[in-house]
Structure 1
Amino acid sequence: MENLIIGPILGLESDKTYTICFLVSKCVSKAQVIIDEKILLAKNISRLPSGNFWRAQVSIAPPKGSAGKIVSYKIRLDGEDSLNSHGIASWKFYVPGLEETPKIAYTSCNGVSKVDLITSMDDPFQLWRKMSEVNEDQPFSLLIMGGDQLYADSIWNKIEALESWASLTKGEQTASNINQETAYKIDHFYDQLYIQRWNEKYMSHMLASVPSIMMWDDHDIFDGWGSYPKELQQCPVFLEIFSYAKKYFELYQIRSRKNKTLLSKDGNHYAFCLNFREFTLLGLDNRSEREVTRVMSDEQWAQVIDCLQCIKEGTLLVMSAVPVVYRDFSLTETAYDITPWSESLTDDLKDHWRAREHEGERNRLIMRLLDNARERQSNGPTKTIILSGDVHVGCLGVITDRRDQEIVKIHQVVSSGIVHPAPSLIAWLGIRAVTNDEPEYINEERSIESSMLKPVGAKKYIRARNFVTLREGTDRKIWVNWIVESESLESGEKPAYPIS
């Protein structure tokens, strides 16, 4: 009997469109998904070094009213029921009712930048276990993963040719090419990395039990991708590595170009938009086309703007891997490069939206989101929430627009990271010494203000591993709760915030 190498991985592509993806041996010739006794034929969409990647798609009509339903499924390979890597043969997930507000989980930074960080933690995957427990009690309808779903930084010491390349002069690096043997090893590196990292017991259980949507950040490629000087960013070695990282990201996290939510039809970027009950989810791809002087290309900008113009009501969730509202690094970029804390909170100052090179583009994003929020607000109650990660602390920000009599607000929720540890106290003190979080005025009239807020029941910055839940209360507010690793909680600390 053939079993799953990795998966199943549930995906969401519309209010009623779900996908099931998995990796199996190349020996398998036929794969089926049995979902609530209905048989779906899966399609083999890619041949990878360790096996073939299969995809099935199903439409599930939401139950009428505010009560959802549980859907069960299993995977049959060449006529026999299969097991996953943990010996599980069947799974179930929750489909919310048509008038039900889905319960959402959000997370980022699922890994570590250095191997010794994992070995220093007593329980690296504690929060995945906790999320699984929460899901059993009150099931999530959607899992959003906002960047660094795995850390590929070890590519530079796992592949000897790349390790040697890294020690060359810049001129030698930009002139170097990758031979077929090294390309083969890069392909195998990403193949094995997903198998190793995504087969962790509780993470794999959540990926099989809650439909997810994902957007990448730099570590899904390697540390700092997109923020290197142009001559490095466009050199043959970088581009070859990126091509393989993109290949695996597209399969595992986007679930192939068959994903109908993608804004780009040519594959230049992976920005997407989909509706799920009262939510519209807009995912910004801030890595595929990133350069030192830009975050998104003109093409992506045009498609994002067109998308925003079509969103007239409801709650908008915007995925931006790097926070739009955060501490100000821009005035200390030069000094910060030489502090001992430069990798404790952020991989590269140029990655931040508040870096000097990105300030204009950041303001453009803020103004577009505010204009959209104001238009939706004129059609009824609405909320705009930016979901971010990257910085290895949890926190909350707000952009307040007082240009008109009716005030408009955009909130930002940062959850980071579910596996990556928070900065040490010494590192955090260093970060605070060279940055500030004073209110920022976006426009000349000082009527648009960006600031950090203090969550209820916690300090302003949650210096502990965490994930976030979002759920609408009876008061019609969306309650944000940071679920924090137990040993890092201070007495009585339960970070939360109601967004109204």
Structure 2
Amino acid sequence: MTAEFGAARLGPILYYRGYDDGVLKLAALVLLPIGEAPKTLRADGTDHDPSCLREIGRNAIWRFDFTLPEGAGGYSYGGEVYPVQTELTDDLRIAFLSCNGEEEGDLDRDEDERNAMWARMCESHKKAPFALLLQGGDQIYADEATQGHPLSDQWPDKVERPHSAADLEDLADHLRQRFAERYVQALFGESPAWIMSRVPTLAIWDDHDICDGWGSLYRSRTYSEVGQCLFRVAREMYLLFQHAATEADIPDLFLDASGTSLSWERGLPGVQFLAPDLRAERGRRRVMGANGWSATQAMSPGETHTFVISSVPLLGPRLSLVERFMLVIPWMQKYEDDLRDQWQSRAHREEWARMLKQALKWRQRAPVTVLSGEIHLATRAEMGSADSRIHQLVASGIAHRAPPKGYARSLGTLAGLGDAPVKGYPIRIHPLPGQRHRYTAERNFLELKRSQGRWSAIWHLEDSGATPSLALD
């Protein structure tokens, strides 16, 4: 029998909905024991009524929808005031993060150690407020959520068949509560909750928000009844906790009204954010399906700058060389799905070139910077020449501990070979400002800053501190 997800009083967490004619559109999520009414949320002189999105275990999840005009100081919930940055037309600061957890034992980690970089982000916000928090994938690590239920305990190594629809629904209930535990840790730890109650968030998902390697595993695993149940619940929980949304909200929040692809785009004055969904339609030989590509091609670049969130790095080293070694070295074959997850896999090379060409089309309209996570390292890359250059900034591992420095150096050596899947537009991996090596093995998050109309980036590294500023042209 599944252990029940215990009652808690948590929130609010802010979500960015849009900006229109000087008005910031927001949602706030709170979690309360079933039967307990939310406190009063007051914004711009008005009290707002919540809607109950769903119940999980002994808790109900509620959402408030509200707006803040430019110049408003923030909102209050239960009498506590939460300042929000609403001056968005001139200078601006945005934070970007990814990989908020670890594959094993994440729920048992010491909170202060786990959220040390979150605490540093909070301190940075107190000095100069962030207006938006972009989350680039792996906001939770749900890999252990399948444990503890007879149908999924050994999945994906062993695929069990449910005896009835009731058995499958029992699994869904188990998974729902285990996912909720991880989202509570990810969103409502002291430091994450503090900043996310004051800075609205926008998120794209990646594999660990479902399970390690989702879509790069064999179809016999992902298309089994257990695999599809896992995906259904993971998607439901992603919508709920990372977007404060349900199925009914999809046409308003995502570009594909059917919800097959959860790609989205949003804007702030003078800047656009594009987020293709690289996970929902993924298979071993594709990154996006027809719905994802239709959504991506419909995206509009910004007037002065466009940030593209790619949950796996778009500009990377020639991983196809490593994949060739796997064919002849048996002990390396267990890492096949990890490499299949990358744009640079030989299985995705044509699709990778297609995406690079799409980014170059956007670059014809405005400067383009790709934001990526996933690799538990910090790095940067460039594609093209000075007059058509695309930057990529990788900030990966706000909570995931860094891999050994030797791994980072080996990857840097591989990156030195270079690649040019689009003729005339070579890709080059560069060290962060102030760093010697192409990949930095430290936990980190990224600060994006607009000052006098020009954008720059600073990595906040756990041991080395803040890097010098990198201009984004």
Question: TM-score with structure 2 length normalisation?
Answer: 0.89
Structure 1 counterpart SS, 2:281: coil
Q: Tell me the residue number matched to 1:369.
A: 359
1:163 to 153, 156, 159: 153
8 A contact 1:341–1:427 mirrored in 2: no
Structure 2 regions of 5+ residues with no counterpart? 1-6
Q: Does the 8 A contact of 1:50 with 1:191 survive in 2?
A: no
d(CA) in 2 for partners of 1:191, 1:116: 14
Instruction: Measure the CA separation in 2 of the matches of 1:393 and 1:341.
Output: 21
269, 282, 288: which one pairs with 1:277? 269
Shift in CA distance, 120/13, structure 1 to aligned 2, threshold 3 Å: closer
Task: Give the secondary structure class of the aligned counterpart of 1:458.
Answer: coil
CA 1:341–1:414: 2 relative to 1, 3 Å: farther
Q: Per-residue deviation at 1:335?
A: 2.6
Percent identity between matched residues is 24
How far residue 175 of structure 1 moved from its aligned partner, in angstroms, is 8.3
Aligned counterpart in structure 1 of residue 449 of structure 2, from 467, 471, 479? 471
Provide, for residues 199-230 of structure 1, a one-character-per-residue CA deviation record: whole Å limited to 9, x for no partner: 21101111111011001100011100111122
SS in 2 for 1:188: helix
2:13 corresponds to: 9
Q: CA deviation at 1:47?
A: 2.2
| Residues 1:132 and 2:122 aligned together | yes
The C-alpha deviation readout for 1:99-124, integer Å capped at 9, x for no partner, is: 31321000000001122897599822
Match of 1:454 in 2: 431
User: 1:233 pairs with 222, 225, 237, which one?
Assistant: 222
Q: Residue 358 of structure 2: SS of its match in structure 1?
A: helix
Following the alignment from structure 1 to structure 2, what is the Cα–Cα distance between the partners of residues 327 and 176? 46
Quote the Cα distance in structure 2 between the aligned partners of 1:197 and 1:131: 15
Q: 2-side partners of 1:462 and 1:339: how far apart?
A: 29
Residue 281 (structure 2) pairs with residue 289 (structure 1): yes
Of the structure 1 ranges 100-109 and 250-259, higher mean CA displacement relative to structure 2 is found in: 250-259
Counterpart position of 1:497:
470
Q: Distance in 2 between matches of 1:61 and 1:196?
A: 32
State the AA in 2 paired with 1:440: D
Distance verdict in 2 for CA 1:122–1:261, change over 3 Å: closer
2:347 corresponds, among 327, 336, 357, to 357
Q: How far, CA to CA, are the matches of 1:102 and 1:473 in structure 2?
A: 7
> Does the 8 A contact of 1:186 with 1:244 survive in 2?
yes
Matched, 1:436 2:426: no
Aligned length: 456
- 2:337 aligned with 1:323, yes or no? no
- Whether 1:383 and 2:367 are equivalent positions in the alignment is yes
Deviation at residue 132 of structure 1 after TM alignment: 0.3
Check whether the contact 1:108–1:417 (CA below 8 A) recurs between aligned residues: yes
| Change in 2 beyond 3 A, CA 1:43/1:401 | same
- Residue 192 in 1 paired to residue 181 in 2? yes
* Residue 176 of structure 1: how far off its partner (Å): 7.8
Greater mean alpha carbon deviation, residues 131-140 or residues 150-159: 150-159
Superposition deviation, residue 258 in structure 1: 2.4
**8 Å CA contact 1:282, 1:319 repeated in 2:** yes
Give the aligned residue type for 1:93: V
Unaligned stretches of 5+ in structure 1? 64-68, 76-80, 82-88, 377-381
Question: TM-score, normalising length from structure 1?
Answer: 0.84
Aligned position for 1:78: none
Deviation at 1:234, TM superposition (A): 0.9
Of stretches 283-292 and 111-120 in structure 1, the one that deviates more from structure 2 is: 111-120
Q: 5 Å matches for 1:140-289?
A: 140-166=130-156, 168=158, 173=160, 178-256=167-245, 257-258=248-249, 260-289=252-281
RMSD: 2.8
